Amino acid sequence: MEGIDKNKQDQEKLSAAKAAFQFVKNNDVVGLGTGSTATFAIEELAKRIQAGLKIKAAASSVKTEELALSLGIPILKLETLGSIDISIDGADEFTESLNLIKGGGGALFREKIIASLSKNSIIITDSSKKVDRLGAFTVPVEVVPLALQYVLNQLAALNGKAVLRKMDEKTFVSDNGNYIVDVDFGLLDKPEELALALNQIDGLLAHGLFIGLTSKVIMAKGDEILVFE
């Protein structure tokens, strides 16, 4: 990561995670994100439960659910929840206008459902994630396998350079049994317009542009905590 070493970055992730807990109350349903930053929040939540906090949680991925259960965090099924009090998740990029790119870990669809259900959707980040314009990080999209070629055609028509995500030389498959395609649209002047265009593509289950879904971003920078809302 440019300009920040990993230890410092992890320290910032942990500080941002801790700062998010001022907003978590007893009896809340808490949405849990996925990724290295969300993992700091999940570990912190487990400590607070051991200290007496009473919450139930919903997980944005199989990995997060397994980690949460292993730490004694009670997990509710996402499909049973009509709303979530607060969610805590990471991001790959964010702007001061609270637009995000997410999905570096492939969990974008469930993360988006959780963010959409959340009354208070909190993003926690280290200082490397703040950008003036989204798009240096490619936009992940989740694609139903049988629609792959159709979706690739539509992405090309939007001038996106698409790469099918692989892991260990095999096609990456999401928790929902779908493919992830990472799309380079260059730096985005109008992320809202791109999000609307991607919403129109049949077979494209979800994209990693989170527009208007975030209540606040808590970013740690060194010893400082900055809140964007």
Ligand X SMILES: O=C[C@H](O)[C@H](O)[C@H](O)COP(=O)(O)O
* Residue closer to ligand X, measured from CB, 103 or 160: 103
Q: Which residues inside 18-47 make contact with ligand X, applying CB under 6 A? A: 33-38
Q: Three-state DSSP class for 146?
A: helix
The CA distance from 134 to 190, in Å, is 9
| Catalytic-residue membership of 111 | yes
* Residue closer to ligand X, measured from CB, 95 or 150: 95
Structural contact between residues 56 and 86, judged by C-beta atoms closer than 8 angstroms: no
Q: Is 103 annotated as a binding residue?
A: yes
Find the DSSP H helices in 131-190.
148-157
Least Å distance, CB 157 to ligand X, is 26
Structural contact between residues 132 and 97, judged by C-beta atoms closer than 8 angstroms: no
Annotated active-site residue in 44, 65, 111, 142: 111
* Residue closer to ligand X, measured from CB, 55 or 110: 110
DSSP label at residue 137 = S
Q: Is 92 annotated as a binding residue?
A: yes
Q: Three-state DSSP class for 214?
A: coil
Beta bridge partner(s), residue 204: 143
Nearest to 142 by CA among 115, 189, 96, 102: 102
| Residue 172, phi-psi category: left (phi > 0), alpha (psi -120 to 50), beta (remainder) | beta
Least Å distance, CB 128 to ligand X, is 9
* Residue closer to ligand X, measured from CB, 68 or 107: 107
Residue with token string 């607070």: 48
* Span near ligand X by CB under 6 A; candidates 22-30, 68-76, 99-107, 142-150: 99-107
Determine if 85 is a binding residue for ligand X (CB under 6 A).
no
Least Å distance, CB 92 to ligand X, is 5
Q: Could you list the residues known to form a binding site, using ranges.
A: 34-37, 89-92, 102-105, 129
Q: Could you list the residues known to form a binding site for substrate, using ranges.
A: 34-37, 89-92, 102-105, 129
Chain residues in the site for ligand X (CB under 6 A): 33-38, 89-92, 102-108, 111
